[in-house]
Chains A and B, each alone.
Chain A
Amino acid sequence: MTDWEQERVDRQVQPAPDRYRNALGKYKIDRLASCKGCGRCVEVCKYGVHIKPKGYTFTLRPQDQYCVGPDCAECADSCINQCPNHALVIRRNPTVDCMGDPRWSSDLILSTWHMAETGHTPPEHLECRRGETDGGFDKLVFSFEVEGYESRPVPAAVDPNEIDLSLDLNHRGDGRPQVHIDIPVYGGGMSFGSVSIHTILAKARAMTAWNSFTCTGEGGYHDRLRPYDDHVITQVATGLFGVREETIQRVRIVEFKYAQGAKPGLGGHLLGDKNTPPVARMREAVAGNALFSPFPFHSVYSVEDHKKHVDWIKEMNPTCLVSVKVSTPTDVDMVAVGSFYAGAHIVHLDGSYGGTGAAPDIAKKNIAMPIEYAIPKVHKFLVAEGIRDQITLIASGGIRTAYDALKAIALGADGVVIGTPEMVALGCVRCACCESGRGCPRGIATTDPELVEQMGLEWSTQRLINLQNAWREQMLDVLTRLGMKSIRELRGRSDVLCYIADDAAAGAGAAAGRAGAPVQAEEVAR
């Protein structure tokens, strides 16, 4: 229980435009010297790309980020075609090709930016559902995204206002208080040191607004988090940096971090450059030294030891829930069951393609399985064990979009934990330079006093509140299409998903018309 006065944060969507002078768009409009400043483009553009303030002779530089691209440009009444001097040219912006990667395609980054700016679903020219990895979530679609779904029996109409996205996190019935979150999402652990204090606080404030949680990460509990104690998870990781009795006693959820998806089996990494004096102070370490957390906990070498650990936390804080964060080895199902019998309320699976502030490249790609494989494995095993309804299964590590979150839930998770989407909402371009030197050049994952100042707290809080609102809109939309009244109905409903197979027989998709049942042999034959 916290003894600190708690701050309220309004759940209000407000525009939070890009903090850089030149926002990036998928397309770029070049204005040639033949522009006479007639202002025709300002009149025809519906999207606010062209602006000519009163008294100006010429229009401002085009606001590329609002341009919807060739589909609009090819119309007779577009700015391109209407310009009397043919002074406008549109092309794909070469800079966005330098941004992102198959997992976080430039479209996903731009659409996340759009959501963080406006709080609403992005326009159609930005893909906001799937990345370009050709596997995992990117190979899964909902049955209503497949041709022929119209022929399916229409689900009972659902009023979006009645849909419930909230989750209870305590299913053990062990007398500990219920913890209720309003969205099926909470924030992942990011330590002070790996990210800036503004990033940490913005995450905490946004999740306070949405009545959900954020997590301290392994670098200790920063004093500036105290006004949000009720929405903070204290992480106890193998390095035990900054873990004290008080930090465990003041929160409603305590998380054991056994492993992190991006570097499973290896323990946290904080390279020396980023271990600045304030970071070192909180971690009770020597500034400038690289901090490699051990793996595993030095006190846990068996499931029995693990239970002892959980009991220790429960003894110290009699009202908290215990979450166990593990990565995804082949026997992840056994680990989950073991955690349940050890007394955990939440099993948090962290898949191997998740984010990190620093990890060996070899670990990110090659060790342990991606979350898409682990969720159904664990879910099915828990169901078979008959304990599925007594534990909360949370998935993380590679959840990029609201659609990823929904697919994770359809595969069997109760809810998800996100990290990278929040970083992207704050302006991350995935340049992967968070680990060394002065840290993030964009001021998100750094503790460099100068770089941190690039990002204000109000702005960053608003971006994250907006992002969650946009995700919420998309979740409501999907649930409406599926005819479900609650996110809890979606759990384990993998029958609403289809798998995109390159070798799938054409026409087999008619199966999607039958509420997405697996393809029958005779149907393929036909």
Chain B
Amino acid sequence: MPERYHVHVVPTPPRFHRVGKYGNVDWREDCSRCTNCVKLRCLYNVYKSEAAYNRDPESPVVTLDECKACLSCVQGCTKGLLSVSINPGYLDMGDDYWKPDVLLTTWNQADSGKIPVSGAGYRGKFYGYGFDSIWTDMSEIVRPTRDGIHGREYISTAVDIGPKPMRLRFGADGSLLTPSSPLIELPLPVILDMPAWQVECQHLAEARALAAKHLGTLAVIPVEEVGELDPQLLPYVAPLFGETAGWSAFDRAREQLDHVRMVHLTDSGQVAGMFHIFQESRANIVVAVRMTLTPSTADRIMELAKVGMRVFEVIADQHGRETLADGAPGRHLKDTLRAIHGRLVAAGIRDEVTIIVSGGIALAEHMAKAIICGADAIALDTPLLVALGCRVCRDKTRCCTPNACPCEISAVEPGYGAQRIVNLMGAWHSQLLEVLGAMGIREARRLRGETGRAIFMEDIEREAFGDLCRVSPEQVLS
């Protein structure tokens, strides 16, 4: 049995006090100073930590950010002076895809590295956009994994990146004719990509590379910046060649290329030429083509596959959508991925090709669902920034410049940043195990394209309610 893959998480407190969900209104002037004040009885010591500032000027100003809204104080106050309300600053964070709840749970996971567990049932909408309209299956009685995730059995989250020839060819004398092809085994189906909008700085690149080393995966870093990294990190770095990079870029990076295992080429007219340069001079490096997700991505992948390319990274927008010709957003990943996957299956080359997907992967469940829809692995972008404290304000003119970011992202110390990323990945890894364990699937490779083990809202809604009389919302009597 292989050694169990384990992510070593270390609790790493955030650099800033977080934005809390609740605030309170307190009519102090009516307070009767009774001795059984509800503030002293708060189970979470929210009021005590708030008041600490009054006694000790050194202690931080803590607002009611840790309030859980159990409402015990509101309902118990002798004179009924307290109210709780939702903090508008909390609701202002992020957008309708990167919801405040998403940011909060990502911060918590980056703090502790633990899988989020809570009481009470599911609290959200019945279904939602994109991945929120998929449920994964589970296996009730008959199942191949016997012990679930807490048992003795090993569930592997490893995936392979690289060309995977379906058969070997031998010469008459028994010598191997098929050239040996490089294959990278990642212990978890994640590579660490560049954030989509943040001004890239060396600190972040280094943090990603350190985290990649710790996790045994890869960090995508622009080739121009690779030279400044510690050479020991290079096996965990995948240099990215830009659209216009040609032979000269390759030549400049010659020294670093001796150590890397994978490179990313941005898709362009000359990508095939670059690919052949690598094939001829650096056959031990996995070459991935990085392309924006558009309605014609499947065609482009087929085209490049014909000239021998086998690894593709498709990049959706930040809400997980393809980009149409006019720049407008199109379908969500859950549909486009299934289309690409189906196309490769029909062409008979699915198992030879690796599809990595990025953009719009915000939560651990999105990782599992993207794989179910047909990706081999995901490339993480925005969640890595969120792990470092980003609030996804995405204000390019004001915030997302090196010195204006309210979370001072560019001031993150690389080791600290790396640990936050490792923690987040540790939590995601545990959550992937939960999904795999519940499904009774023993390895992440088997999850790819398993749409039969998922429940799609459109299908099940039709099956369950298709025979009911349909009425419009206006017709319902209040």
Contact = CB atoms under 8 A, between A and B. Distances in A.
The judgment on whether A and B are partners is: yes
A504 interface: yes
A95 B467 CA distance: 41
B5 interface: no
B69 A500 contact: no
A327 B140 contact: yes
Nearest to B142: A302
Size band of the interface chain B makes with A = 35 or more
A429 interface: yes
A102 B124 contact: yes
Contacts of A362: 115-116, 363-365, 431, 434-435
B117 A500 contact: no
B166 interface: no
Interface string A20-59: 1111100010000000000000000000000000000000
A430 B121 CA distance: 9
Contacts of A502: 472-473
Grouping DSSP codes into helix (H, G, I), strand (E, B) and loop, the B interface class, with mixed when no group exceeds half, is: mixed
A90 interface: no
Contact of B476 (A145, A397, A518): A145
B439 interface: yes
Contacts of B148: 265-267, 294-296
A101 interface: yes
Interface in B342-391: 363-365, 368-369
Given A101-B124, A335-B140, A431 B117 contact: no
A303 interface: yes
A433 B117 contact: no
A337 interface: no
A252 interface: no
A151 to B, nearest CB: 13
B75 interface: yes
Given A21-B75, A103-B123, A301-B141, A265 B440 contact: yes
B69 A431 contact: yes
Contact of A377 (B78, B463, B475): B463
A344 to B, nearest CB: 12
Nearest to A309: B141
A431 B126 contact: no
Contacts of B71: 24, 95, 98-99, 429, 431
Given A61-B80, A102-B124, A373-B460, A361 B116 contact: yes
A143 B74 CA distance: 41
A366 interface: yes
Contacts of B363: 362
B474 A506 contact: yes
A133 to B, nearest CB: 4
B300 to A, nearest CB: 31
Contacts of A434: 118-120
Interface in B128-163: 132, 134-143, 146-151
Interface string B2-37: 000000000000000000001001000000000000
A434 B472 CA distance: 39
B467 A98 contact: no
A519 B475 CA distance: 14
A472 interface: no
Interface stretch (A69-77, A179-187, A196-204, A349-357): A349-357
Given A98-B86, A360-B434, A498-B469, A433 B141 contact: no
Interface in A332-355: 332, 335, 338, 352-355
A508 B471 contact: yes
Contacts of B475: 146-148, 504, 506, 509, 512
A173 B169 CA distance: 66
A119 interface: no
B142 A301 contact: yes
A310 to B, nearest CB: 12
A279 to B, nearest CB: 16
Interface string A425-442: 000111111111110111
Interface stretch (A134-142, A156-164, A221-229): A134-142
Contacts of A139: 126, 465
B126 A135 contact: yes
Nearest to B151: A294
Contacts of B438: 264-266, 295, 363, 367-368
A146 to B, nearest CB: 5
A264 B74 contact: no
Contact of B120 (A141, A327, A430, A511): A430
Nearest to B465: A499
Contacts of A4: none
Contacts of A265: 138-140, 148, 437-440
Contact of A512 (B44, B78, B124, B469): B469
A302 to B, nearest CB: 6
B202 interface: no
Interface in A431-456: 431-438, 440-442, 445, 451
Contacts of B453: 330
Contact of A508 (B140, B151, B440, B470): B470
A264 B141 CA distance: 11
A500 B143 contact: no
A104 B122 CA distance: 10
A380 B386 CA distance: 46
B119 A433 contact: yes
A205 interface: no
Contacts of A335: 140-141
Contacts of B123: 101-104, 430, 432
A133 B126 contact: yes
Contacts of A264: 138, 438
A94 interface: yes
Given A21-B80, A435-B117, A511-B469, A295 B437 contact: yes
A20 B70 CA distance: 12
Contacts of B118: 358-359, 361, 432-435
Given A269-B117, A360-B434, 16 more contacts: A146-B475, A258-B141, A266-B438, A271-B117, A354-B121, A358-B119, A360-B115, A362-B364, A366-B136, A367-B439, A368-B137, A441-B70, A500-B473, A500-B476, A509-B475, A519-B470
Interface of B: 22, 25, 43-44, 68-72, 74-80, 83-86, 105, 115-127, 132, 134-143, 146-151, 363-365, 368-369, 431, 434-435, 437-440, 452-453, 455, 460-461, 463-465, 467-477
16 contacts: A98-B22, A104-B123, A135-B127, A146-B476, A265-B439, A296-B141, A303-B142, A358-B117, A361-B116, A364-B122, A368-B135, A373-B460, A432-B68, A441-B43, A501-B470, A509-B472
Closest 4 CB pairs of A and B: A135-B126, A434-B119, A265-B438, A20-B75
Interface of A: 18, 20-24, 28, 61, 93-95, 97-99, 101-104, 133-136, 138-141, 143, 145-148, 258-259, 261-262, 264-267, 269, 271, 292, 294-296, 298, 300-303, 305-306, 326-327, 329-332, 335, 338, 352-370, 372-373, 376-377, 397-398, 411, 420, 428-438, 440-442, 445, 451, 494-495, 497-502, 504-506, 508-509, 511-512, 516-519
